[in-house]
Structure 1
Amino acid sequence: MVSHSSLITVMEKAVRKASPRLRRDFGEVDALQVSRKGPADFVSNADRAAEETIVEVLSHARPDWGLTLEEGQSRTGADAKSRWIVDPLDGTTNFLHGMPHFAISIAAEVNGEVVSGLIHQPLTGESYWAEKGRGAWLSDRRLRVSARRELADCVLATGIPFRGHGDTAAFSRQLDAVMPEVAGVRRFGAASLDLAWVAAGRFDGFWESGLSEWDVAAGILLVREAGGFVSDFRGGEAMVARREIVAGNGQVQSRLHKLLAEAAKT
């Protein structure tokens, strides 16, 4: 059994406590598809209920820590240098449509640096976790990013703009630049899991714009601790500020961010 810090223990406790309710609510979604308003409200309630459960566990364990939450208000704790970053249901559209691909993402930040992160898939029970300097893991199995070096052999993941969100013209330019170079591009609809799958070597790389801090905080640490690289589209560290991210092993990530940077110029 792989040992880990108390932070990961707390995160695991939080996601395990929230997951049964999410699984139960996911099983009820089909019955609500006849109503436009009903399913959306239902999923929003499921999201908030998961967040409340997670916050309860995290706050009990670290009452002085701040919280940055997707569904609720950010809170500053007595310990101004430490906070949790929480997305209680990443992949809400998948959840709404009965698609079994969504996750809970939790990261712990200390002194401005994410030191621990966990991404949990409630339906499969998979927990991807990482601690700074201690590697990335799926339960007790060590994770490594893909070893593929040529884009022509790679399958990448991305996110697609949708109604009211994202720049479709910019994304079209990105696809035009990337698709001729790779073996395939996938869009599964949960960025946290996309990054976890990059860390696990299932995807060779990932890029997306318009993401928020809670979508990527844990995933960035996972990819880096699995031996990968993460940057903004220009190769810098402003992933959160610029709301853009590209990830993969050294060869793939370097080539991919250059393609995206060139696409931005056209």
Structure 2
Amino acid sequence: MPITDEELALTAAQAGAAVVRAMWGTSLTRFAKSADDFATAADIEAEKAILDVIRTARPDDAVTGEESGRTGRDGAERMWLVDPLCGTLNYAARTMLVAVNVALRAGSAVTAAACADPFAGEAFWTDGAHAYVRRDARDELLTPSAESRLVDVNLDPPFPNAPAFRAVGLLGDPGFAERFRPRVVSTTLALAWVAAGRRAAYVTDGHLRDSVHFASGIALCQAAGCVVTGIYGEPPHTGAGGLVVAADRETHDALLEVIAIGRSTRT
């Protein structure tokens, strides 16, 4: 029987995670991408492993990889979005907070996605309708929860909505501190944690349509039933962009209120 898209996303993410895990702690060559960004040999090798899996099973699909760029037919209806190592700086500093992200956009929607944690032995995945975590070859349905009150805030650039919105501003806001406890893990694995009930919410700036970093996490959260909008409450990928993902409506509304108050003081 042919492999389904969701199983392919999961298999590809796990293949990349195996490379990331195998290369952990080794002396890694770095490849400069810009003045303040780089890839490691682990990024490159993990992406190769992921692309081998996808191209073997779906040779006619297009692919956009974080390291290799876009390949495939122009205007392809199906596009795989691949981030082989989300949290490269963490990884290079020997910090085990990273993710391997694989998502399929078919038309305008992400219909299958996976986010693998190389070190926890977990892979979060969705078929576009439901979201699960696979651990020890068993699947468990993801259930969001705001009980922890932990909110991950992405402090990595770019910041296209500054100065009206600065994610770092949440950390010192009294309204935020009354309700939540901030966390900064610097990997989109945190989005999977919102879907899994390990985080109450996640906030980031940025233009995220077709983002290899964020496509998997957004799809997981939407399928799990999280509230997912832009930073000012608009539908995702519209308006100012950015992302506020919360386990429930109450948490989401509280974050939008804090963001709105901060915005009004800066404009």
TM-score (norm 2): 0.83
Q: Determine which of 125, 129, 143 is the counterpart of 1:129.
A: 125
For residue 48 of structure 1, report the CA deviation from its aligned partner: 1.2
Q: 2:64 — aligned with what?
A: 68
Contact map agreement 1:230 1:247 (CA 8 A) in 2 = yes
Contact map agreement 2:114 2:125 (CA 8 A) in 1 = yes
Change (3 A) 1:174 1:120: same
For residue 113 of structure 1, report the CA deviation from its aligned partner: 0.3
What is the CA–CA distance in structure 1 between the aligned matches of 2:206 and 2:92, rounded to whole Å?
21
What is the CA–CA distance in structure 1 between the aligned matches of 2:260 and 2:71, rounded to whole Å?
35
Unaligned runs of 5+ in 1: 33-37
Change (3 A) 1:241 1:130: farther
What is the CA–CA distance in structure 2 between the aligned matches of 1:241 and 1:93, rounded to whole Å?
30
**2:190 is equivalent to residue 187 of structure 1:** no
What is the CA–CA distance in structure 2 between the aligned matches of 1:53 and 1:85, rounded to whole Å?
14
TM-score (norm 1): 0.83
Contact map agreement 1:232 1:257 (CA 8 A) in 2 = no
Change (3 A) 1:107 1:173: same
What is the CA–CA distance in structure 1 between the aligned matches of 2:233 and 2:95, rounded to whole Å?
33
Aligned-pair identity (%): 26
Q: 1:250 — aligned with what?
A: 249
**2:43 is equivalent to residue 44 of structure 1:** no
Code of the residue aligned with 2:150 in structure 1: it is V
Unaligned runs of 5+ in 2: 33-37
For residue 195 of structure 1, report the CA deviation from its aligned partner: 0.5
Contact map agreement 2:78 2:107 (CA 8 A) in 1 = yes
For residue 264 of structure 1, report the CA deviation from its aligned partner: 2.3
Q: 1:96 — aligned with what?
A: 92
Q: 1:35 — aligned with what?
A: none
Code of the residue aligned with 1:67 in structure 2: it is V
Q: Provide the secondary structure at the position in 2 that maps to 1:138.
A: strand
Which 4+ stretches in 1 moved above 4 angstroms?
Answer: 38-43, 240-243
Q: Structure 1 or 2: larger helix share? A: 1
For residue 12 of structure 1, report the CA deviation from its aligned partner: 2.4
What is the CA–CA distance in structure 1 between the aligned matches of 2:240 and 2:45, rounded to whole Å?
30
Q: 2:25 — aligned with what?
A: 27
Q: Determine which of 194, 197, 202 is the counterpart of 1:201.
A: 197
For residue 17 of structure 1, report the CA deviation from its aligned partner: 2.5
**2:149 is equivalent to residue 154 of structure 1:** yes
For residue 43 of structure 1, report the CA deviation from its aligned partner: 5.0
Q: 2:144 — aligned with what?
A: 145
For residue 211 of structure 1, report the CA deviation from its aligned partner: 6.4
Contact map agreement 1:234 1:258 (CA 8 A) in 2 = no
Q: 1:210 — aligned with what?
A: 206
What is the CA–CA distance in structure 1 between the aligned matches of 2:244 and 2:152, rounded to whole Å?
10
Q: Provide the secondary structure at the position in 2 that maps to 1:80.
A: coil
What is the CA–CA distance in structure 2 between the aligned matches of 1:207 and 1:232, rounded to whole Å?
9
**2:262 is equivalent to residue 263 of structure 1:** yes
Contact map agreement 2:9 2:112 (CA 8 A) in 1 = no
Q: What number of residue pairs does the alignment pair up?
A: 247
Change (3 A) 1:173 1:92: same
Q: 1:239 — aligned with what?
A: 237
Contact map agreement 1:67 1:77 (CA 8 A) in 2 = no
What is the CA–CA distance in structure 2 between the aligned matches of 1:183 and 1:23, rounded to whole Å?
33
